[in-house]
Amino acid sequence: MDPVRRGCKYEEDISLGLNNSEPKQLDCPGLQFSNGCHNFDRLSSVVCAGKLLVVPMDGSHWFTMRLVVEQLIQRGHEVVLIIPEVSWQLGKSSNFTVKTYSTTYNLEELNQKFKTFSDSQWNVRPQSILSMLLDSSSDIFEHLFLHCKNLFSDPKLVEYIKESSFDAVFLDPFDVCGLIVAKYFSLPSVVFTRGLFCHFLEESTQCPSPPSYVPRIFLGFPDAMNFRERVWNHISHLEEHLFCHYFLKTPLEVASEILQTAVTPYDLYSHTSIWLLRTDFVLDYPKPVMPNMVFIGGINCQEGKPLPKAECP
């Protein structure tokens, strides 16, 4: 049994939510936990959080995360959402404790930026990370990344987070703001994602992903590549290193300003305590994984309902 799962069922509470039983006394080897308590050992292997700060990402990313947050609330955990005032779907539930902060953009501007981006993505299929990053419509990401600056410009909200003694931050890593919040307040972070573009997942988890054996995203190569495919895979890997930092230029500048020090992607992503990956190991390319990487594939699937019977006239 790997260290993350060793005797403690916190991951089930914060990820799958398949067991509907109430939170109860947890008996972990060498440690005693009661409902609502928390602890991180040196390996971040045992986690029992009772007070959770959630920094979600808007749009479709929120749909799956919301199911987990609702399960956490049902199990007795205290959950607080930190969201911008302008959003599509965030916080639309009476079950959540929500704290908002103002933004420098309005909903109309957000919709227009997203429409430009989505139209571009439907018209042209990206062939590589480079083609996606150089797309002029990708400035939607820069627009979204700036909201974190608005969060830290709200002194009352910053003071609230500081004084609330949260046990951990539950976040979507695509919105780098959650990672910045976790690092700024020195809180353990639980990442909820399908995966990460570029090379950040492999590097931050110190998981080897050799280009000779593991194909990069968008290429569509099999795990058994021929020489030509391996060459192209290496080129794609090189593109990521050259241009992914360009993609994260704005959030890294924001993070450096907030944290008052130069920040790299590795500084942010390597702070993660637990990676909850919405996929299954058997569906991905064969590669090593670390003990704090927990596969929760299928969490966004619901049991289908039978179609209603229709009678022909």
Residue-range domains of the chain with CATH: 3-295 (3.40.50.2000)
Which of 58-62, 73-77, 120-124, 128-132 shows the highest mean pLDDT? 73-77
pLDDT tens for residues 139-165? 666 777 788 999 999 999 999 999 999
Q: How many CA atoms lie within 13 A of 46 on its CB side?
A: 17
What would the two tokens of residue 206 be? 């110190």
Supply the pLDDT for residue 177. Answer: 92
Residue 131: pLDDT band by 50, 70, 90 thresholds? Answer: low
CA distance 153 to 265: 22
pLDDT tens for residues 210-255? 888 888 877 888 889 999 999 999 998 888 887 777 778 888 999 9
Supply the pLDDT for residue 209. Answer: 85
Looking at the chain, which runs of residues are DSSP E strands? 26-28, 31-33, 51-55, 78-84, 97-101, 168-171, 189-193, 274-277, 293-295
For the chain, the residue count is 313
Residue 258: pLDDT band by 50, 70, 90 thresholds? Answer: very high
Average pLDDT over residues 194-210: 83
pLDDT tens for residues 43-95? 344 545 489 999 998 878 888 888 889 888 888 899 999 988 888 778 666 67
The sign one gets for the Cα dihedral 176, 40, 28, 206 is positive
Pick the more confident residue, 57 or 300.
57
Q: What percent of the chain has pLDDT over 70?
A: 74
